[in-house]
A and B are shown apart, each in its own frame.
Chain A
Amino acid sequence: MGEKEGLITTLDKVSEGKTATLISLEVGHGLLSRLLNMGLIPGTKINVLVNRGKGLLVIRVQDAEISISRGIAQKLIVKVES
Protein backbone atom coordinates (compact mmCIF):
# COMPACT_ATOMS: atom_id res chain seq x y z
CA MET A 1 0.00 0.00 0.00
CA GLY A 2 2.63 2.52 -0.96
CA GLU A 3 0.04 5.00 -2.15
CA LYS A 4 1.11 8.38 -3.46
CA GLU A 5 0.07 11.76 -2.30
CA GLY A 6 -3.03 13.05 -4.05
CA LEU A 7 -4.22 9.58 -4.99
CA ILE A 8 -7.99 9.13 -4.94
CA THR A 9 -8.92 5.82 -3.39
CA THR A 10 -11.12 4.25 -0.73
CA LEU A 11 -10.31 4.63 2.97
CA ASP A 12 -9.48 0.94 3.44
CA LYS A 13 -6.55 1.36 1.02
CA VAL A 14 -4.89 4.12 3.04
CA SER A 15 -2.05 2.72 5.10
CA GLU A 16 -1.46 3.11 8.79
CA GLY A 17 -0.10 6.47 9.91
CA LYS A 18 -1.28 8.31 6.80
CA THR A 19 -3.77 11.12 6.57
CA ALA A 20 -6.48 11.40 3.95
CA THR A 21 -9.21 13.89 3.14
CA LEU A 22 -12.73 12.52 2.85
CA ILE A 23 -14.21 13.23 -0.56
CA SER A 24 -17.52 11.39 -0.56
CA LEU A 25 -19.53 8.73 1.21
CA GLU A 26 -21.12 6.06 -0.98
CA VAL A 27 -23.49 4.68 1.66
CA GLY A 28 -27.23 4.41 2.26
CA HIS A 29 -29.20 7.14 3.95
CA GLY A 30 -29.29 5.83 7.53
CA LEU A 31 -25.58 5.12 7.69
CA LEU A 32 -24.81 8.41 5.90
CA SER A 33 -26.63 10.40 8.53
CA ARG A 34 -24.79 8.58 11.33
CA LEU A 35 -21.38 9.04 9.70
CA LEU A 36 -21.99 12.73 8.97
CA ASN A 37 -23.13 13.37 12.52
CA MET A 38 -20.03 11.61 13.86
CA GLY A 39 -17.94 14.12 11.95
CA LEU A 40 -17.17 12.18 8.78
CA ILE A 41 -17.98 15.00 6.40
CA PRO A 42 -16.50 15.52 2.94
CA GLY A 43 -13.45 17.74 3.40
CA THR A 44 -12.60 16.35 6.84
CA LYS A 45 -9.11 15.01 7.50
CA ILE A 46 -9.00 11.38 8.51
CA ASN A 47 -6.02 10.00 10.37
CA VAL A 48 -5.58 6.27 9.87
CA LEU A 49 -4.34 4.94 13.20
CA VAL A 50 -4.65 1.22 12.57
CA ASN A 51 -4.97 -0.56 9.24
CA ARG A 52 -3.57 -4.03 8.82
CA GLY A 53 -4.89 -4.65 5.34
CA LYS A 54 -7.69 -6.82 6.68
CA GLY A 55 -10.17 -6.62 9.51
CA LEU A 56 -11.33 -3.32 10.93
CA LEU A 57 -9.67 0.08 10.86
CA VAL A 58 -9.16 2.62 13.60
CA ILE A 59 -9.27 6.24 12.51
CA ARG A 60 -9.10 9.65 14.16
CA VAL A 61 -11.63 12.21 13.01
CA GLN A 62 -12.13 15.56 14.71
CA ASP A 63 -10.30 14.31 17.82
CA ALA A 64 -12.41 11.17 18.16
CA GLU A 65 -11.01 7.67 17.88
CA ILE A 66 -13.43 5.57 15.83
CA SER A 67 -13.35 1.86 14.99
CA ILE A 68 -14.87 1.19 11.63
CA SER A 69 -15.36 -2.09 9.80
CA ARG A 70 -13.63 -2.56 6.47
CA GLY A 71 -16.93 -2.78 4.64
CA ILE A 72 -17.84 0.77 5.62
CA ALA A 73 -14.30 2.02 4.92
CA GLN A 74 -14.56 0.64 1.39
CA LYS A 75 -17.45 3.02 0.77
CA LEU A 76 -15.58 6.14 1.82
CA ILE A 77 -13.78 7.83 -1.06
CA VAL A 78 -10.70 9.76 0.07
CA LYS A 79 -7.72 11.65 -1.24
CA VAL A 80 -4.40 10.62 0.28
CA GLU A 81 -2.57 13.57 1.85
CA SER A 82 0.65 12.49 3.47
Chain B
Amino acid sequence: MTLSRYDYIIVGSGAGGGVLAFHLSRAGKRVLVLEAGQRWQAKDYPDNELDASARLMWSGGVEPSHDASLMLMRGRVLGGGTVINQCLLDRFDSVALDDWAERSSIDSFNVTALGRHYDAVEADLSLQSIPESDWNGNARIYADGFDQLGYRRAPLRRGQSRCDVSAGNDCMRCLGGCPRSSKQSMAATFLPRAEQHGLEIVTGCHVHGVVHGSAGVTVYGRVGQEQVQFFGAQCVLAAGTLGSSRILMNSGLTHALPALGKGFFCHPQFVTFARYAEPVDAHRGSFQALKSDDPRFRAAGFKLENVFMGPVAAAYLLPGGAQMHQRLMRGYRHLACIEVAVRDVTPGRLSLGRNGQLNIRKSLGAPERRRAREGLQVIRDIYRVTGAKEVMQAPTGIGLHLMGGCAQGVQRDTSVVNPEFAVHGMPRLHVVDGSLFPSAPGINPSLTIMALAHRAAEALLGCTLPSAGIARGQSIAIAEASA
Protein backbone atom coordinates (compact mmCIF):
# COMPACT_ATOMS: atom_id res chain seq x y z
CA MET B 1 0.00 0.00 0.00
CA THR B 2 1.47 3.37 -1.02
CA LEU B 3 0.67 6.27 1.25
CA SER B 4 0.34 9.79 -0.02
CA ARG B 5 3.03 11.88 1.57
CA TYR B 6 2.11 15.27 2.91
CA ASP B 7 4.41 18.01 4.08
CA TYR B 8 2.16 18.50 7.10
CA ILE B 9 -0.68 16.50 8.59
CA ILE B 10 -2.77 18.48 11.06
CA VAL B 11 -5.09 16.57 13.37
CA GLY B 12 -7.97 18.85 14.32
CA SER B 13 -9.48 21.90 12.65
CA GLY B 14 -10.24 24.28 15.52
CA ALA B 15 -8.58 27.57 16.43
CA GLY B 16 -5.08 26.05 16.30
CA GLY B 17 -5.44 23.72 13.34
CA GLY B 18 -7.41 26.17 11.23
CA VAL B 19 -4.96 29.05 11.48
CA LEU B 20 -1.96 26.77 11.05
CA ALA B 21 -3.49 25.04 8.01
CA PHE B 22 -3.98 28.42 6.36
CA HIS B 23 -0.44 29.66 6.84
CA LEU B 24 1.21 26.39 5.86
CA SER B 25 -0.98 25.98 2.75
CA ARG B 26 -0.44 29.59 1.79
CA ALA B 27 3.30 28.99 1.98
CA GLY B 28 2.93 26.32 -0.69
CA LYS B 29 3.09 23.26 1.52
CA ARG B 30 1.02 20.16 0.89
CA VAL B 31 -1.22 20.03 3.94
CA LEU B 32 -3.84 17.55 5.10
CA VAL B 33 -6.29 18.25 7.93
CA LEU B 34 -7.92 15.28 9.66
CA GLU B 35 -11.12 16.14 11.53
CA ALA B 36 -13.27 13.76 13.58
CA GLY B 37 -16.44 15.75 13.00
CA GLN B 38 -18.31 16.46 9.82
CA ARG B 39 -18.30 19.33 7.38
CA TRP B 40 -21.47 21.41 7.36
CA GLN B 41 -22.71 24.03 4.97
CA ALA B 42 -23.46 27.04 7.13
CA LYS B 43 -27.13 27.17 6.22
CA ASP B 44 -27.50 23.52 7.25
CA TYR B 45 -26.24 23.80 10.84
CA PRO B 46 -28.84 22.30 13.20
CA ASP B 47 -31.66 24.66 14.13
CA ASN B 48 -32.41 22.93 17.43
CA GLU B 49 -30.46 22.16 20.58
CA LEU B 50 -30.96 18.40 20.42
CA ASP B 51 -29.29 17.99 17.05
CA ALA B 52 -26.65 20.60 17.80
CA SER B 53 -25.52 18.63 20.84
CA ALA B 54 -25.74 15.22 19.20
CA ARG B 55 -24.08 16.17 15.93
CA LEU B 56 -21.64 18.98 16.69
CA MET B 57 -20.21 17.94 20.05
CA TRP B 58 -18.18 15.10 21.48
CA SER B 59 -20.12 12.42 23.36
CA GLY B 60 -23.40 13.91 22.24
CA GLY B 61 -23.12 17.09 24.28
CA VAL B 62 -21.23 16.93 27.53
CA GLU B 63 -18.55 14.79 29.14
CA PRO B 64 -18.47 14.63 32.95
CA SER B 65 -15.26 14.87 34.92
CA HIS B 66 -14.45 11.86 37.14
CA ASP B 67 -16.62 13.13 40.00
CA ALA B 68 -19.13 14.78 37.66
CA SER B 69 -18.59 18.10 39.41
CA LEU B 70 -18.01 19.64 35.99
CA MET B 71 -19.67 18.95 32.67
CA LEU B 72 -17.11 19.50 29.95
CA MET B 73 -18.03 20.59 26.45
CA ARG B 74 -16.03 20.49 23.21
CA GLY B 75 -16.81 20.68 19.53
CA ARG B 76 -16.70 17.78 17.10
CA VAL B 77 -17.24 19.45 13.75
CA LEU B 78 -15.10 20.93 10.99
CA GLY B 79 -13.92 24.13 12.66
CA GLY B 80 -13.92 22.53 16.12
CA GLY B 81 -14.89 24.62 19.12
CA THR B 82 -14.91 27.80 17.04
CA VAL B 83 -18.19 26.67 15.46
CA ILE B 84 -20.04 26.31 18.76
CA ASN B 85 -18.44 29.00 20.90
CA GLN B 86 -19.38 32.66 21.09
CA CYS B 87 -16.18 33.78 19.32
CA LEU B 88 -15.15 36.12 22.13
CA LEU B 89 -11.70 37.25 21.12
CA ASP B 90 -9.77 38.98 23.87
CA ARG B 91 -5.99 39.06 24.18
CA PHE B 92 -4.37 37.69 27.30
CA ASP B 93 -3.04 40.23 29.77
CA SER B 94 0.23 40.31 31.65
CA VAL B 95 -1.35 38.51 34.59
CA ALA B 96 -1.88 35.43 32.45
CA LEU B 97 1.26 35.61 30.33
CA ASP B 98 3.66 36.38 33.18
CA ASP B 99 2.37 33.28 34.92
CA TRP B 100 2.98 31.27 31.76
CA ALA B 101 6.52 32.63 31.42
CA GLU B 102 7.31 31.67 34.98
CA ARG B 103 5.87 28.17 34.70
CA SER B 104 7.34 27.40 31.28
CA SER B 105 10.63 29.33 31.36
CA ILE B 106 9.68 30.66 27.92
CA ASP B 107 10.49 34.36 27.92
CA SER B 108 8.45 35.06 24.78
CA PHE B 109 5.25 34.53 26.72
CA ASN B 110 4.73 38.23 27.24
CA VAL B 111 2.32 40.86 26.00
CA THR B 112 4.85 42.49 23.67
CA ALA B 113 6.23 39.37 22.01
CA LEU B 114 2.82 37.80 21.52
CA GLY B 115 1.43 41.13 20.30
CA ARG B 116 2.79 40.64 16.79
CA HIS B 117 0.99 37.31 16.48
CA TYR B 118 -2.23 38.76 17.87
CA ASP B 119 -1.95 41.58 15.32
CA ALA B 120 -1.57 39.08 12.50
CA VAL B 121 -4.59 36.91 13.30
CA GLU B 122 -6.78 39.89 14.18
CA ALA B 123 -6.07 41.40 10.76
CA ASP B 124 -7.56 38.28 9.20
CA LEU B 125 -10.76 38.38 11.24
CA SER B 126 -13.74 40.70 11.49
CA LEU B 127 -13.91 41.96 15.08
CA GLN B 128 -16.89 43.89 16.36
CA SER B 129 -18.55 44.90 19.58
CA ILE B 130 -22.29 45.23 20.07
CA PRO B 131 -23.51 48.84 20.32
CA GLU B 132 -25.78 49.77 23.21
CA SER B 133 -28.65 50.25 20.78
CA ASP B 134 -28.54 46.50 20.08
CA TRP B 135 -28.40 45.28 23.67
CA ASN B 136 -31.11 42.86 24.68
CA GLY B 137 -32.84 42.69 28.05
CA ASN B 138 -30.21 40.44 29.58
CA ALA B 139 -27.44 42.92 28.72
CA ARG B 140 -29.43 45.86 30.10
CA ILE B 141 -29.92 44.13 33.45
CA TYR B 142 -26.22 43.26 33.56
CA ALA B 143 -25.18 46.82 32.76
CA ASP B 144 -27.67 48.32 35.19
CA GLY B 145 -26.46 46.09 38.00
CA PHE B 146 -22.80 46.85 37.33
CA ASP B 147 -23.46 50.57 37.21
CA GLN B 148 -25.52 50.64 40.40
CA LEU B 149 -22.92 48.63 42.29
CA GLY B 150 -19.94 50.55 40.92
CA TYR B 151 -18.30 47.70 39.05
CA ARG B 152 -16.49 48.21 35.77
CA ARG B 153 -17.86 46.64 32.61
CA ALA B 154 -16.79 46.79 28.96
CA PRO B 155 -18.06 45.75 25.54
CA LEU B 156 -17.03 42.28 24.49
CA ARG B 157 -14.89 42.00 21.40
CA ARG B 158 -16.51 39.43 19.17
CA GLY B 159 -15.50 37.72 15.95
CA GLN B 160 -18.47 38.46 13.69
CA SER B 161 -19.09 40.24 10.44
CA ARG B 162 -22.77 40.70 9.59
CA CYS B 163 -25.16 39.59 12.29
CA ASP B 164 -27.73 42.19 11.23
CA VAL B 165 -29.57 42.11 14.54
CA SER B 166 -31.69 45.08 13.49
CA ALA B 167 -33.32 42.79 10.91
CA GLY B 168 -34.55 40.62 13.76
CA ASN B 169 -31.85 37.96 13.87
CA ASP B 170 -31.39 36.12 17.15
CA CYS B 171 -27.72 35.31 17.59
CA MET B 172 -28.29 32.68 20.28
CA ARG B 173 -29.01 30.35 17.37
CA CYS B 174 -25.31 30.47 16.52
CA LEU B 175 -24.38 28.37 19.58
CA GLY B 176 -25.20 25.52 17.23
CA GLY B 177 -23.25 27.00 14.32
CA CYS B 178 -23.85 30.36 12.64
CA PRO B 179 -26.01 29.88 9.53
CA ARG B 180 -25.07 33.35 8.23
CA SER B 181 -21.31 32.67 8.36
CA SER B 182 -21.07 35.85 10.38
CA LYS B 183 -19.34 34.22 13.31
CA GLN B 184 -15.62 34.07 12.57
CA SER B 185 -15.28 30.34 13.07
CA MET B 186 -12.51 28.44 11.36
CA ALA B 187 -15.17 26.95 9.09
CA ALA B 188 -16.05 30.44 7.87
CA THR B 189 -12.58 31.99 7.79
CA PHE B 190 -9.19 30.29 7.79
CA LEU B 191 -10.19 26.83 6.52
CA PRO B 192 -11.88 27.92 3.28
CA ARG B 193 -9.02 30.33 2.66
CA ALA B 194 -6.57 27.47 3.19
CA GLU B 195 -8.52 25.30 0.77
CA GLN B 196 -8.03 27.99 -1.85
CA HIS B 197 -4.32 27.35 -1.39
CA GLY B 198 -4.71 23.60 -1.82
CA LEU B 199 -5.48 22.35 1.69
CA GLU B 200 -6.98 18.85 1.72
CA ILE B 201 -9.46 17.90 4.44
CA VAL B 202 -10.71 14.48 5.53
CA THR B 203 -13.70 14.65 7.87
CA GLY B 204 -15.15 11.87 10.00
CA CYS B 205 -11.59 10.70 10.71
CA HIS B 206 -10.97 9.45 14.22
CA VAL B 207 -7.21 9.42 14.84
CA HIS B 208 -6.01 6.72 17.21
CA GLY B 209 -2.30 7.43 17.31
CA VAL B 210 0.92 8.44 15.63
CA VAL B 211 4.26 6.78 14.93
CA HIS B 212 7.21 9.15 14.93
CA GLY B 213 10.02 8.05 12.62
CA SER B 214 13.23 9.45 11.26
CA ALA B 215 11.64 10.37 7.93
CA GLY B 216 8.23 11.49 9.10
CA VAL B 217 5.15 10.68 11.09
CA THR B 218 2.50 8.07 10.35
CA VAL B 219 -0.98 8.94 11.58
CA TYR B 220 -3.40 6.05 11.98
CA GLY B 221 -7.08 5.85 12.76
CA ARG B 222 -10.37 5.14 11.06
CA VAL B 223 -12.89 6.79 8.82
CA GLY B 224 -16.20 5.15 9.56
CA GLN B 225 -15.33 1.48 9.96
CA GLU B 226 -12.34 1.65 7.63
CA GLN B 227 -8.84 1.65 9.08
CA VAL B 228 -6.73 4.41 7.54
CA GLN B 229 -3.24 5.79 7.80
CA PHE B 230 -1.55 8.88 6.45
CA PHE B 231 2.09 9.84 6.22
CA GLY B 232 3.50 13.31 6.70
CA ALA B 233 6.98 14.73 6.91
CA GLN B 234 5.61 16.58 9.93
CA CYS B 235 2.52 16.08 12.04
CA VAL B 236 0.77 18.67 14.16
CA LEU B 237 -1.72 17.63 16.83
CA ALA B 238 -4.39 20.31 17.11
CA ALA B 239 -7.14 18.10 18.45
CA GLY B 240 -7.72 20.08 21.60
CA THR B 241 -6.69 19.34 25.15
CA LEU B 242 -8.48 16.03 25.44
CA GLY B 243 -7.87 14.95 21.85
CA SER B 244 -4.16 15.70 21.59
CA SER B 245 -3.44 14.24 25.03
CA ARG B 246 -5.36 11.07 24.17
CA ILE B 247 -3.54 10.61 20.87
CA LEU B 248 -0.12 10.95 22.52
CA MET B 249 -1.07 8.53 25.29
CA ASN B 250 -2.57 6.10 22.84
CA SER B 251 0.69 6.24 20.91
CA GLY B 252 2.53 4.80 23.90
CA LEU B 253 4.27 8.03 24.84
CA THR B 254 3.11 8.34 28.44
CA HIS B 255 6.38 7.11 29.90
CA ALA B 256 8.54 9.08 27.47
CA LEU B 257 6.67 12.25 28.37
CA PRO B 258 6.32 12.42 32.16
CA ALA B 259 4.29 15.64 32.07
CA LEU B 260 1.74 14.30 29.58
CA GLY B 261 -1.81 14.64 30.88
CA LYS B 262 -0.76 16.71 33.87
CA GLY B 263 -1.79 20.30 34.40
CA PHE B 264 -5.29 19.95 32.96
CA PHE B 265 -7.35 23.10 33.51
CA CYS B 266 -10.64 24.57 32.46
CA HIS B 267 -12.71 27.59 33.37
CA PRO B 268 -15.42 26.27 35.72
CA GLN B 269 -18.64 28.21 35.17
CA PHE B 270 -21.63 28.48 37.46
CA VAL B 271 -24.90 29.76 36.11
CA THR B 272 -27.37 31.83 38.11
CA PHE B 273 -30.80 32.72 36.76
CA ALA B 274 -33.15 35.41 37.95
CA ARG B 275 -36.83 35.85 37.23
CA TYR B 276 -38.22 39.33 36.59
CA ALA B 277 -41.78 40.58 36.54
CA GLU B 278 -41.49 41.78 32.95
CA PRO B 279 -40.17 39.76 30.03
CA VAL B 280 -36.39 39.95 29.66
CA ASP B 281 -36.22 38.10 26.34
CA ALA B 282 -32.61 37.17 26.92
CA HIS B 283 -32.77 34.85 23.91
CA ARG B 284 -33.56 37.59 21.44
CA GLY B 285 -31.25 39.73 19.34
CA SER B 286 -27.58 40.17 20.02
CA PHE B 287 -26.05 37.75 22.42
CA GLN B 288 -23.50 38.42 25.15
CA ALA B 289 -22.67 42.06 24.50
CA LEU B 290 -20.80 42.86 27.70
CA LYS B 291 -18.10 41.57 29.98
CA SER B 292 -16.94 42.37 33.47
CA ASP B 293 -13.86 44.56 33.40
CA ASP B 294 -13.30 45.17 37.06
CA PRO B 295 -9.74 44.80 38.34
CA ARG B 296 -11.11 43.58 41.66
CA PHE B 297 -12.70 40.60 39.90
CA ARG B 298 -9.48 39.86 38.01
CA ALA B 299 -7.51 39.97 41.25
CA ALA B 300 -10.07 37.71 42.91
CA GLY B 301 -9.84 35.18 40.07
CA PHE B 302 -13.24 35.33 38.42
CA LYS B 303 -15.23 37.16 35.77
CA LEU B 304 -18.94 37.49 35.19
CA GLU B 305 -20.39 36.46 31.84
CA ASN B 306 -23.64 37.80 30.46
CA VAL B 307 -24.82 34.58 28.84
CA PHE B 308 -28.10 32.87 28.16
CA MET B 309 -29.17 29.57 26.67
CA GLY B 310 -31.93 27.77 24.85
CA PRO B 311 -34.80 25.98 26.59
CA VAL B 312 -33.00 22.62 26.73
CA ALA B 313 -29.95 23.94 28.53
CA ALA B 314 -32.03 26.24 30.75
CA ALA B 315 -34.33 23.37 31.73
CA TYR B 316 -31.37 21.19 32.60
CA LEU B 317 -29.66 23.87 34.69
CA LEU B 318 -32.67 25.27 36.49
CA PRO B 319 -33.21 23.68 39.89
CA GLY B 320 -36.31 21.84 40.98
CA GLY B 321 -38.67 19.36 39.42
CA ALA B 322 -42.29 18.89 38.42
CA GLN B 323 -44.42 21.91 39.38
CA MET B 324 -41.50 24.18 40.28
CA HIS B 325 -39.72 23.24 37.09
CA GLN B 326 -42.77 23.87 34.93
CA ARG B 327 -43.43 27.21 36.60
CA LEU B 328 -39.88 28.40 35.95
CA MET B 329 -39.91 27.19 32.36
CA ARG B 330 -43.27 28.79 31.61
CA GLY B 331 -41.53 32.01 32.62
CA TYR B 332 -38.59 31.40 30.28
CA ARG B 333 -39.01 34.83 28.67
CA HIS B 334 -38.77 36.43 32.12
CA LEU B 335 -35.41 34.85 32.93
CA ALA B 336 -32.08 36.65 33.02
CA CYS B 337 -28.79 34.86 33.37
CA ILE B 338 -25.27 35.65 34.54
CA GLU B 339 -22.54 33.12 35.15
CA VAL B 340 -19.35 33.33 37.12
CA ALA B 341 -16.35 31.95 35.25
CA VAL B 342 -13.53 31.00 37.56
CA ARG B 343 -9.83 31.14 36.82
CA ASP B 344 -8.92 27.57 37.63
CA VAL B 345 -5.77 26.93 39.67
CA THR B 346 -6.16 23.34 40.88
CA PRO B 347 -4.65 21.14 38.17
CA GLY B 348 -6.49 18.09 36.99
CA ARG B 349 -5.02 15.05 35.29
CA LEU B 350 -5.78 13.13 32.13
CA SER B 351 -4.97 9.46 31.78
CA LEU B 352 -5.83 6.59 29.54
CA GLY B 353 -8.25 4.09 31.00
CA ARG B 354 -9.22 0.62 29.95
CA ASN B 355 -10.54 0.31 26.40
CA GLY B 356 -8.68 3.45 25.40
CA GLN B 357 -11.07 5.97 26.93
CA LEU B 358 -9.68 9.09 28.50
CA ASN B 359 -10.10 9.47 32.26
CA ILE B 360 -10.60 13.09 33.25
CA ARG B 361 -9.68 13.70 36.86
CA LYS B 362 -10.73 17.24 37.62
CA SER B 363 -12.08 18.41 40.91
CA LEU B 364 -13.05 21.80 42.17
CA GLY B 365 -10.43 22.81 44.71
CA ALA B 366 -10.87 25.19 47.59
CA PRO B 367 -9.60 28.17 45.54
CA GLU B 368 -12.13 27.54 42.77
CA ARG B 369 -14.98 27.16 45.26
CA ARG B 370 -13.98 30.37 47.02
CA ARG B 371 -13.76 32.28 43.74
CA ALA B 372 -17.12 30.94 42.65
CA ARG B 373 -18.72 31.99 45.94
CA GLU B 374 -17.35 35.53 45.61
CA GLY B 375 -18.62 35.81 42.05
CA LEU B 376 -22.01 34.35 42.91
CA GLN B 377 -22.41 36.93 45.67
CA VAL B 378 -21.83 39.73 43.17
CA ILE B 379 -24.40 38.15 40.84
CA ARG B 380 -26.96 37.98 43.64
CA ASP B 381 -26.25 41.65 44.39
CA ILE B 382 -26.81 42.55 40.73
CA TYR B 383 -30.12 40.74 40.70
CA ARG B 384 -31.16 42.36 43.99
CA VAL B 385 -30.52 45.92 42.88
CA THR B 386 -32.19 45.34 39.51
CA GLY B 387 -35.42 44.08 41.02
CA ALA B 388 -35.35 40.34 40.40
CA LYS B 389 -38.31 38.47 41.88
CA GLU B 390 -36.49 35.19 42.34
CA VAL B 391 -32.88 33.97 42.02
CA MET B 392 -32.00 30.39 41.11
CA GLN B 393 -28.50 28.95 41.04
CA ALA B 394 -27.79 25.99 38.79
CA PRO B 395 -26.74 22.96 40.80
CA THR B 396 -24.30 21.79 38.14
CA GLY B 397 -21.01 23.36 37.07
CA ILE B 398 -19.90 23.58 33.48
CA GLY B 399 -16.29 23.26 32.36
CA LEU B 400 -15.46 25.33 29.30
CA HIS B 401 -12.13 26.20 27.68
CA LEU B 402 -10.30 22.93 28.24
CA MET B 403 -6.58 23.60 28.55
CA GLY B 404 -3.27 21.96 29.39
CA GLY B 405 -2.18 18.34 29.39
CA CYS B 406 0.60 18.97 26.84
CA ALA B 407 2.10 22.06 28.41
CA GLN B 408 4.67 24.04 26.50
CA GLY B 409 7.94 24.65 28.29
CA VAL B 410 11.67 24.20 28.41
CA GLN B 411 11.97 21.41 30.97
CA ARG B 412 11.02 17.91 29.88
CA ASP B 413 9.87 16.89 33.36
CA THR B 414 7.33 19.68 33.58
CA SER B 415 6.30 20.10 29.94
CA VAL B 416 5.48 18.06 26.85
CA VAL B 417 6.14 20.51 24.03
CA ASN B 418 9.26 22.62 23.55
CA PRO B 419 9.29 26.34 22.73
CA GLU B 420 9.37 25.49 18.99
CA PHE B 421 6.11 23.52 19.40
CA ALA B 422 7.76 20.09 18.91
CA VAL B 423 7.10 17.29 21.36
CA HIS B 424 10.24 16.81 23.45
CA GLY B 425 12.57 14.40 21.63
CA MET B 426 10.33 14.16 18.55
CA PRO B 427 11.22 16.94 16.14
CA ARG B 428 8.62 15.95 13.54
CA LEU B 429 5.68 15.82 15.95
CA HIS B 430 4.13 19.05 17.16
CA VAL B 431 1.21 20.26 19.26
CA VAL B 432 -0.68 23.50 18.55
CA ASP B 433 -3.87 23.93 20.54
CA GLY B 434 -5.11 24.76 24.01
CA SER B 435 -3.34 21.77 25.49
CA LEU B 436 -0.14 23.86 25.33
CA PHE B 437 -1.37 26.22 28.03
CA PRO B 438 0.79 26.01 31.18
CA SER B 439 -2.10 27.35 33.29
CA ALA B 440 -5.62 28.71 33.04
CA PRO B 441 -5.59 32.38 32.02
CA GLY B 442 -9.07 33.35 33.20
CA ILE B 443 -9.70 34.78 29.72
CA ASN B 444 -11.39 33.16 26.73
CA PRO B 445 -8.63 31.24 24.98
CA SER B 446 -9.57 31.16 21.27
CA LEU B 447 -7.65 34.22 20.10
CA THR B 448 -4.51 33.17 21.94
CA ILE B 449 -4.68 29.68 20.46
CA MET B 450 -4.85 31.35 17.04
CA ALA B 451 -1.91 33.61 17.92
CA LEU B 452 0.11 30.62 19.08
CA ALA B 453 -0.76 28.87 15.81
CA HIS B 454 0.60 31.86 13.93
CA ARG B 455 3.76 31.68 16.00
CA ALA B 456 3.96 27.92 15.38
CA ALA B 457 3.62 28.45 11.62
CA GLU B 458 6.60 30.76 11.74
CA ALA B 459 8.55 28.21 13.76
CA LEU B 460 7.70 25.43 11.30
CA LEU B 461 8.38 27.47 8.19
CA GLY B 462 11.42 29.25 9.55
CA CYS B 463 10.32 32.71 8.54
CA THR B 464 8.12 35.55 9.68
CA LEU B 465 4.62 35.63 8.26
CA PRO B 466 2.76 38.79 7.49
CA SER B 467 -0.98 38.84 7.95
CA ALA B 468 -2.99 38.21 4.83
CA GLY B 469 -4.95 41.30 5.82
CA ILE B 470 -8.11 39.64 4.58
CA ALA B 471 -10.50 41.28 6.99
CA ARG B 472 -9.18 44.73 6.09
CA GLY B 473 -9.35 44.11 2.38
CA GLN B 474 -5.60 44.43 1.99
CA SER B 475 -3.68 42.62 -0.68
CA ILE B 476 -0.39 41.31 0.58
CA ALA B 477 1.82 39.09 -1.50
CA ILE B 478 2.28 35.65 -0.08
CA ALA B 479 5.64 35.44 1.58
CA GLU B 480 8.10 33.02 0.13
CA ALA B 481 8.69 30.54 2.87
CA SER B 482 11.81 28.57 3.35
CA ALA B 483 11.16 25.50 5.43
Partners in one complex: no
Binding site for A on B (CB under 8 A): none
Binding site for B on A (CB under 8 A): none
